[in-house]
Amino acid sequence: MRMNVLPVPAARWRAACEDAAAEGARLRCLYAVEGERGPELRALLGLADEERLLTASLAGAPVDSVLEVFPAADWDEREAHDLYGVRFAGRDPLRALVAHPPQPERWMTPVHGHGTHQVAVGPIHAGVIESGHFRFHVVGERILRLDLRLFYKHRGLQRAAEGRALEDGLAFAQRACAACAVATSVAYVQAAEAVLGLVPNAALRRARTLLCELERLYNHLNDLSAICAGIGFAPGAMAFAALKERAQRLNARLSGHRFLFDTVAIAASPPQLDERPSPADRDEVRALRAAAAAGWRELLFAASVQDRLGGVGVLTADDAVALGAVGPVARAAGVRRDARADGDPRLWYGGLQPAQPVTASGDVAARAEMRAVELEQTCDILEDLLARPPERPDTRPAGRPQPIGIGRVESPRGETVCVIEATGGTLRRLHLRTGSYANWPVLAHVVPGNLLPDFPLINKSFELCYACADR
Amino acid sequence: MFVLLHRLQRLRRDLGLPAPARTGSLALRHVDAGSCNGCEHELTATASPVYDLQRFGLNVVASPRHADVLLVTGAVTARMAEPLLAAYEAMPEPRLVAALGDCALGCGVLADPGELAAPLEEIVTVDLRIPGCPPTPAQIADALTGALDLLRPRASRPRRRRQ
């Protein structure tokens, strides 16, 4: 994939984005950087044969919003405003996202009318759930509008990583989120290796792919458990929770950690994985696949489960494309988009086709089915990789070091993008846009029109992390 | 559904979890003060059939008003300090605070210091420490069952607020 850094004058920012959109570009991320003369703006756009990074120096002046060109840029622009003070023309009001102003009108949509009222949930939730606030505007039980107020857990990880050596910055990317630790770490090292002018050899690509799929295995089992819990179907929730535990124990056996922490490094792979995985590990993957398939079949025949899943929280394919939905959420809506399939050669997914449900109805049922279908695919990959003899993971130099590197990995929740800007081995800017970050605004879009008691179920079918959105 | 229930029954038999040695109960309220989601995953896992913390009388309750123990995960971010304190103030006495995981204990926290409020121990008195990144469900289960006795011979703990 060719990387093309394209500086544009601030006045042509929107026009340059429109040009790229006309060529079929997809927004990967938009972020701001502290420049010498005020904030600078970047937009990473994915084209068929090129990753185009638009850069603009703003010199303190407002820049045209590109929300109409790329609706997926909604949160990115609000974050650039709140964290870097970038002013966007054509967005009024620009509601607060990362900042938490006390005045409701500065972060909430005004909703008026006969019988409308608000339901406030969080930041502390009733179960064992991460912190974040949901404000529902409802009439009776029908949701009119959902305002998300996340970033309660904003730890400033990206800014904290700035000024550190490339290898020290990895910990900040990894700890953004435990459940996506491998995906964010691999995206980070891909970006760092691009900066250093290195490419991984086949053995290293396979080792990282194995880790990514182990992560997907326990996460998808967790999601199926969570969807059952969202309905209150305890037998399913418990059955899949027990399978998730087995998957995490497999992680611990193969890598030494239940969440696969510290298994990814720049130009290296974990020592544990260099040893021969035992046939017992492959048998465990096979047994997990059979048990998950049997559990899924039971869910299909449980009428009280099926009654709740269909037609709830529907995302149309058009909206999924426009809003930049990623991962199982997008695929359940019929958008065959998967970062594993569209050709990044730095992992080992040759020939993988994005999975799809029987009917891509975009509802909770389709999102649940996506997990079951993708589990099969993941087990296929794992069995293949665990059967291979050990090789020596390595990297080789390829081309000159670059000032900017990008990494792109399909996390269990969707495409995770990492951009690194560095000078002489020192991080100048780290930007992470995880699958959860891309899908949170999609969730807020899907919910209106549904009943309030169905929200936990819709939320669980997305199963997004707060931590990797808040960072 | 009955197939699932049957399998769960068999799993329970195979696991052969020992009968609880202690009696009593604790109501737990969890507050994520800025974690990476790892501690939440492991805390949730303690309710799975493999650990089944409920057999010890340990239950997660929805409101701090019904809780004996406040389980805090993560380094306390500036935005979570107030909700955390509100949850603590809502708890009836006697009450315990458990720091779950290394971040809550202030070990090896990765963050921009400007985004954090203060270490948990400076905000509330911590009675129970559960180290680990994240602690495994077995470690969490051990620590919490060990706390079953802590609230028994009772003298009300003094409230402590941030200076």
Mean pLDDT by 10 residues, chain A (471 residues): 87 93 92 88 90 89 92 94 91 90 89 92 90 94 94 93 91 92 94 89 87 94 94 92 94 90 82 68 92 93 91 93 93 90 79 83 93 93 84 76 90 93 90 94 95 93 92 88
- The answer on pLDDT for B68 being more than 50 is yes
CB A225 within 8 A of CB A280: no
Do residue A22 and residue A167 come from a single domain?
no
B49-61 average pLDDT score: 90
Residue A130 touches partner B, C-beta closer than 8 Å:
yes
**Chain A nearest CA to B76, separation (Å):** 8
* Last-in-domain residue among A89, A113, A137: A89
Element (H, E) at A290: helix A279-300
Exposure string of A357-369, with b = 16+ CB inside 10 Å and e = fewer, is: beebbbbbbbbbb
Interchain contact, A294 vs B49, CB within 8 Å? no
CB A60 within 8 A of CB A41: no
Do residue A52 and residue A113 come from a single domain?
no
Please give the Cα distance from B117 to B48 (Å, whole number): 33
| B-chain residues near A242 (CB < 8 A) | 8, 11, 48-50
Do residue A124 and residue A30 come from a single domain?
no
Interchain contact, A178 vs B38, CB within 8 Å? yes
Structure-derived torsion over alpha carbons of residues A76, A78, A84, A89, reported in degrees to the nearest 10: 110
Best residue of B7, B15, B37, B76 to probe chain A, by most A CBs closer than 10 Å:
B37
CB A13 within 8 A of CB A66: yes
Residue among A171, A178, A258 minimizing CB distance to B136: A258
- The answer on pLDDT for B159 being more than 70 is no
Which residue do the tokens 């909604």 mark?
Answer: A74
Structure-derived torsion over alpha carbons of residues A245, A250, A251, A252, reported in degrees to the nearest 10: 90
Which carries the bigger pLDDT value, residue B152 or residue A416? A416
| B-chain residues near A465 (CB < 8 A) | 37
The closest of A352, A75, A109 to A209, measured between CA atoms, is: A352
Do residue A118 and residue A163 come from a single domain?
no
Do residue A382 and residue A238 come from a single domain?
yes
- The answer on pLDDT for B113 being more than 90 is no
Bridge partners, residue B69, by sequence: B28, B96
Residue A24: is it exposed, middle or buried by C-beta count within 10 angstroms (0-12/13-18/19+)? Answer: exposed
Bridge partners, residue B77, by sequence: B116
CB A410 within 8 A of CB A211: no
Best residue of A128, A151, A182, A224 to probe chain B, by most B CBs closer than 10 Å:
A128
Distances (CA, A) of A207 to A125, A272, A279, A392, B96: 38, 10, 17, 10, 44
Q: DSSP secondary-structure letter at B33?
A: S
Residue A311 touches partner B, C-beta closer than 8 Å:
no
- The answer on pLDDT for B163 being more than 60 is no
Please give the Cα distance from A316 to A143 (Å, whole number): 18
Q: What is the pTM of this model?
A: 0.91
Do residue A37 and residue A115 come from a single domain?
no
Please give the Cα distance from A451 to A119 (Å, whole number): 12
Q: What pLDDT score does B129 carry? A: 93
Q: Which tokens go with B6?
A: 């049957």
Please give the Cα distance from A103 to B62 (Å, whole number): 28
Neighbours of A286 (CB within 10 A): 14
Q: How far from chain centre, in Å, is Cα B19?
A: 22
Q: What pLDDT score does A125 carry? A: 92
Nearest CA in chain A to B30: A128
| Residue A99 included in any domain | no
Residue among B7, B62, B74 minimizing CB distance to A126: B62
Do residue A271 and residue A178 come from a single domain?
yes
Residue A153 touches partner B, C-beta closer than 8 Å:
yes
Residue among A176, A245, A465 minimizing CB distance to B45: A245
Do residue A71 and residue A167 come from a single domain?
no
| A-chain residues near B3 (CB < 8 A) | 294, 298
Task: Provide the residue ranges of all domains of chain B, joining segments of one domain with +.
Answer: 25-149
CATH of the domain at A429: 1.10.645.10
Nearest CA in chain A to B65: A126
SS (H, E, C) A229-253: HHHCCHHHHHHHHHHHHHHHHHHHH
- Contact residues, A window 97-116, toward B, CB-based 8 Å cutoff: 100
Interchain contact, A178 vs B37, CB within 8 Å? yes
Do residue A359 and residue A410 come from a single domain?
yes
Nearest CA in chain B to A261: B133
Length of chain B: 163
| Residue A95 included in any domain | no
Q: What pLDDT score does A395 carry? A: 74
Handedness of CA A360, A361, A362, A366 (dihedral sign): negative
How many CB pairs below 8 Å do chains A and B form together?
133
CB B81 within 8 A of CB A152: no
- The answer on pLDDT for B99 being more than 90 is yes
- The answer on pLDDT for B160 being more than 80 is no
Hey, what CATH class is B25-149 in?
Answer: alpha beta
Q: Is the peptide bond before A456 cis (omega within 30 degrees of 0)?
A: no
Contacts of B81 (CB under 8 A, 6+ apart): B33, B117, B118, B123
Please give the Cα distance from A420 to A432 (Å, whole number): 9
CATH of the domain at A70: 3.30.460.80
Domains contained in chain A, number: 3
The closest of B6, B108, B120, B17 to B70, measured between CA atoms, is: B120
Q: What pLDDT score does B151 carry? A: 75
Interchain contact, A175 vs B36, CB within 8 Å? yes
| A-chain residues near B119 (CB < 8 A) | none
Q: What pLDDT score does A200 carry? A: 86
Please give the Cα distance from A144 to A409 (Å, whole number): 35
Q: DSSP secondary-structure letter at A312?
A: S
**Chain B nearest CA to A284, separation (Å):** 16
**Mean pLDDT score of chain B, rounded to an integer?**
88
Domain hosting residue A142, numbered range: 104-149
CB A258 within 8 A of CB B136: yes
Please give the Cα distance from B142 to B46 (Å, whole number): 10
Please give the Cα distance from A249 to A380 (Å, whole number): 19
Interchain contact, A465 vs B37, CB within 8 Å? yes
